[in-house]
Amino acid sequence: MDILEERGLLLPIESPSTSDPLDNPVGSRQKVIKELITTEREYVAALERLMVNILKNSVDNKEFRNELQAKNLLNSDTIHLLFANLPQLVEFQRRFLIGVEVLVTLPEEKQQFGSLFTRMVNLF
């Protein structure tokens, strides 16, 4: 991601205009949930930017893969798996993020984050 950012290949993602249910977290639990949501949002946005840039120009895609391999950042098997499954990875992460965001809108006693992880464990 750093290489893409240095090259100016990442597109900026605007943050949603709706207010976050955890704008002012109180207590450890809410702070952890806010961190989870923030991290997942950033990760999904980064994956989406990566996918857009990769799909935009297949020559750059090949060049990027070669650079990752040349700098020993990832081995060729990992590169193949990442790029071959990128659309599925993005879709999974979107669904996971939506699941977390839906749970946070429920009253705290009904928020069962463990069930979300259990339902999706095979897809991680």
Full-model pTM: 0.62
pLDDT digits (tens, 9 = 90+) for 65-82: 777 778 877 777 877 776
What is the Cα–Cα distance from 85 to 90, expressed in whole angstroms? 9
Residue 13's pLDDT is 56
Q: Under a CB-based contact definition with an 8 Å cutoff, are residues 12 and 52 in contact? A: no
Output the pLDDT for position 79: 72
Which residue ranges make up each domain of the chain?
A: 27-57+86-123
Here the tokens at position 118 are: 């259990």
pLDDT digits (tens, 9 = 90+) for 23-65: 777 788 889 999 999 999 999 999 888 777 766 655 556 777 7
> How far is the CA of 33 from the CAs of 6, 29, 46, 59, 113, in angstroms?
31, 6, 20, 40, 9
Q: Report residue 15 CA to chain centroid gap.
A: 14
DSSP 83-99: HHSHHHHHHHHHHHHHH
